[in-house]
Structure 1
């Protein structure tokens, strides 16, 4: 990353950018789908993410992420709504069991190949590395600890929506991050997988955006990310020349 571009900081999304978030979902529901070898896990996972975002916003977004019983009810409900679309009906008790299994699996994390090496390389080269993630503070911090990301990311560059009060794609979150880190939009690169949350949000804030599109998804709007990569080799090559 050359000085001519003024890029001094690279922020990463966490879920589905540093590791495959589909794997915990697959593990959590495998007992419900054992008689369906062709079950469309990836399609169902995308529906779970849709309902997670929708129901979270109905609760109040980032400000309600730690809302106790209401949040737990939302998390159960997202599984009920998701799996109902695929012919699987869950009682409240069954949904709670799936949710508990899902949460448990999320702390046994295998990062994407090359991701840890890239974080180390960036940090060693003097590039500041940060994280921006939607979710409840305690939950997301347990994932960050499980991946030992503190080795590369200083605490003041970890931003979690449940702690800041704004969810991606709200541009106020990105502006808050610029103010908190003493950076400008022109200095910041953001790497994320979600079109709506990551690409649209960071573009709106004037950041340089790298869409981490390892699933081969289609754009959801006319917005134009600056770069698109499919894996960490491509990302490492890109950041080397930016």
Structure 2
């Protein structure tokens, strides 16, 4: 786990990899449900992501998620389903309020300590540095702009599933990235927090994968990421030392 990765293409997930995606979820739940610090926010957040992926696929994936009544219904339903597992029954009105609060603070983004610095160092070292993220195109691009990443990562290396047409873990999105950036699976590394989307997807495409397991969760299958990192100091040692 301590060997340096020699790579030319280094690509990052966005949500909960470059910044803490739990923060807007926690704020939304607190505002609407008046929860306290004892509520299991992290566990509930993981279930929200599970239902978000599941319901999104039923609607045709992120490419179909930009707008529309079905999308809005899905976004409210994911809150209802996730929080019901923690004995919190939300009315449709409460779910709508929670979704509005969630979206309202999703663009108030603070990157993880060391994230911006690592991106800068990798780019200066001559690597191809990019992003691969699931989500509706405009929604994800707003997050990227909120982090002011255009100055570090050329727009041509920013891949949003809603724009590309395939959602992780579909290996076609990784193949598409290789084709568009002139990289190959053998010299590409993917860093992400999601076991299903990032670890399974990246390995399936033949990439080297660093699982950014900063929440200390358990693996969900027998897949073996090449490395595991818990914070950006780990990532820096793997990629820069």
Please confirm whether the aligned pair reaches a TM-score higher than 0.5, indicating the same fold.
yes
Matches within 5 A, 1:115-130: 115-130=115-130
Contact in 2 for aligned 1:6/1:186 (Cα 8 Å): no
Q: Tell me the matched-pair count.
A: 238
Aligned to 1:217: 217
Aligned to 1:148: 148
Contact in 2 for aligned 1:33/1:39 (Cα 8 Å): no
Question: In 1, Cα distance between the equivalents of 2:32 and 2:73?
Answer: 20
Q: Deviations over 1:122-179 (max 9, x none)?
A: 1111111100000000100000000011111001111001111100000011111111
Aligned to 2:78: 78
Aligned to 2:25: 25
Aligned to 1:197: 197
Question: In 2, Cα distance between the equivalents of 1:156 and 1:35?
Answer: 42
**How far did residue 34 of structure 1 move?**
3.0
Question: In 2, Cα distance between the equivalents of 1:6 and 1:117?
Answer: 19
Aligned to 2:51: 51
Aligned to 1:99: 99
Question: In 1, Cα distance between the equivalents of 2:39 and 2:131?
Answer: 33
Asked if 1:38 corresponds to 2:53, the answer is no
Question: In 2, Cα distance between the equivalents of 1:37 and 1:240?
Answer: 37
Pairwise CA RMSD? 1.5
**How far did residue 42 of structure 1 move?**
0.6
Aligned to 1:14: 14
**How far did residue 209 of structure 1 move?**
0.6
**Which shifted more, 36-45 or 72-81?**
36-45
Q: Deviations over 1:165-216 (max 9, x none)?
A: 1000000111111111111111211100001100010001011111101011
**How far did residue 31 of structure 1 move?**
2.8
Question: In 2, Cα distance between the equivalents of 1:109 and 1:116?
Answer: 12
**Which shifted more, 215-224 or 26-35?**
26-35
Question: In 2, Cα distance between the equivalents of 1:138 and 1:220?
Answer: 30
Question: In 2, Cα distance between the equivalents of 1:36 and 1:119?
Answer: 35
Question: In 2, Cα distance between the equivalents of 1:189 and 1:15?
Answer: 17
Question: In 2, Cα distance between the equivalents of 1:122 and 1:74?
Answer: 38
Question: In 2, Cα distance between the equivalents of 1:15 and 1:100?
Answer: 18
TM-score for the superposition, normalised by structure 1: 0.94
Question: In 1, Cα distance between the equivalents of 2:187 and 2:213?
Answer: 23
Q: Deviations over 1:6-34 (max 9, x none)?
A: 62111000001001100100001103443
Contact in 2 for aligned 1:137/1:161 (Cα 8 Å): yes
TM-score for the superposition, normalised by structure 2: 0.95
